[in-house]
Amino acid sequence: MKLTIDQIRQAAQEAYQEVLPLTGGVNAHYIPFLANIDPNLFGLSITLVDGTKINLGDTKYKFGIESVSKVHTAILILKQYGAEKVLKMIGADATGLPFNSIFAILLEKDHPSTPLVNAGAISACSMVIPTGDSNAKWAEIVQNITDLCGSAPELLEELYESESATNFNNRAISWLLKNYNRIYDDPMMSLDLYTRQCSLGITAEQLSATAATIANGGTNPLTGKAVFEPSLAPKITSLIAAVGFYQTTGDWMYTSGIPAKSGVGGGVMGVMPGLFGISAFAPPLDDAGNSVKGQAVIKAFMQKLGIGIFQSQDVTIVS
């Protein structure tokens, strides 16, 4: 099957227009800063592996990256430790439970399941080398996100303060992980790094560049920089496919055909290996904490193209 860039652009425009009037969902209300973001913001961004960009709507608005940052830091520890150690120290499994589940840790106390839920993401922050040095760890986290996006993120101070003042559940998770020897650095320092990375402001354009870097086997198509080894790309895509939408991931994969990761800031980032990265941004969320319009627009786009990860090996893009 051959797809032209014009066909991709047209599918994106149609999907965007169709989903624009969609209502439903509410902004994340457990983080005060996010509750007050304009719920009508809506952006769709696609970056092809050749570097072609398709942007519609609010793709330059800086929103809270939140849980999408779990993917970036998973990549960082995969780079630092290798795929096998990450599997042993954290895991690569779905929990089937909400992103902030304490029950999931109690059930699987031998590992925190995956770096893409809160427990595993805090554990991942604890692993970032050099351990013991919060500033140096933070510099690594931000540099890695910058390399993946092709441009730097910016800390949203107000979001960071809002989240730090209300993250009691995550504090409990951090100490519980310490109890099970699954925190590999100071627990509160690891939590602070996690909270800070969630509070980074990012644009839909930057997230589609990250997704395109994963789709392109680790080389950022915008900067040409080799950010990670090609062998890690299928590892990170499999993590996303297994748990990107938490307890609704199976339904998402079944209906959309694309591995994607969400954040409570309203961002969704999807990876089509070898083809493109896609991201959508719209703040109102469903009950599982995933952007309502973000999911709808990516699904509509995929359906219009008539492709999915389980058939993408037959697809080539021509100009």
The answer to the question of residue 264 lying near ligand DON (CB under 6 A) is yes
The answer to the question of residue 144 lying near ligand DON (CB under 6 A) is no
> Is 221 or 259 the residue whose CB approaches ligand DON more closely?
259
Residues 273-302 that bind ligand DON (CB under 6 A): 289-290
> Is 142 or 305 the residue whose CB approaches ligand DON more closely?
142
- Residue 160's φ and ψ, nearest 5 degrees, are -60, -45
> Is 64 or 218 the residue whose CB approaches ligand DON more closely?
64
Pattern of binders to ligand DON over 33-72, x per CB under 6 A? ---------------------------------xx-----
57 Cβ contact partners less than 8 Å away, ≥ 6 residues apart: 16, 20, 42, 43, 44
Binding-site residue total for ligand DON (CB under 6 A)? 13
Strand-pair category, 43-48 with 53-57: antiparallel
The answer to the question of residue 170 lying near ligand DON (CB under 6 A) is yes
> Is 22 or 288 the residue whose CB approaches ligand DON more closely?
288
Instruction: Please list, residue by residue across 40-69, b when 16 or more beta carbons sit within 10 angstroms of its beta carbon and e when fewer do.
Output: ebbbbbbbbbeebebbbbbbebebbbbbbb
State in angstroms the smallest separation of the CB of 195 from ligand DON: 6
Strand partners, 268: 262, 280
Cβ-proximal residue to ligand DON, closest one: 67
* Contact stretch for ligand DON (CB under 6 A) within 54-62, 75-83, 256-264, 275-283: 256-264
> Is 170 or 295 the residue whose CB approaches ligand DON more closely?
170
State in angstroms the smallest separation of the CB of 81 from ligand DON: 23
State in angstroms the smallest separation of the CB of 141 from ligand DON: 14
Whole-angstrom distance, CA of residue 278 vs CA of residue 258: 10
182: left (phi over 0), alpha (psi -120 to 50) or beta: alpha
* Residue listed under structure tokens 């909400």: 98
* Contact stretch for ligand DON (CB under 6 A) within 75-83, 108-116, 153-161, 260-268: 260-268
> Is 263 or 284 the residue whose CB approaches ligand DON more closely?
263
Instruction: Give CA separation, 50 vs 221, 305, 317, 318, in Å.
Output: 6, 18, 10, 11
> Is 59 or 162 the residue whose CB approaches ligand DON more closely?
162
Whole-angstrom distance, CA of residue 214 vs CA of residue 217: 5
Nearest one of 137, 150, 129, 149 to 68, comparing CA atoms: 149
> Is 216 or 262 the residue whose CB approaches ligand DON more closely?
262
The answer to the question of residue 197 lying near ligand DON (CB under 6 A) is no
State in angstroms the smallest separation of the CB of 319 from ligand DON: 36
DSSP 8-state secondary structure symbol assigned to residue 102: S
**∠ at Cα 222 (140, 233), nearest 5°?**
60
The answer to the question of residue 190 lying near ligand DON (CB under 6 A) is no
142 Cβ contact partners less than 8 Å away, ≥ 6 residues apart: 152, 153, 200
Whole-angstrom distance, CA of residue 193 vs CA of residue 72: 13
Residues that bind ligand DON (CB under 6 A): 66-67, 99-100, 118, 163, 170, 198, 262-264, 289-290
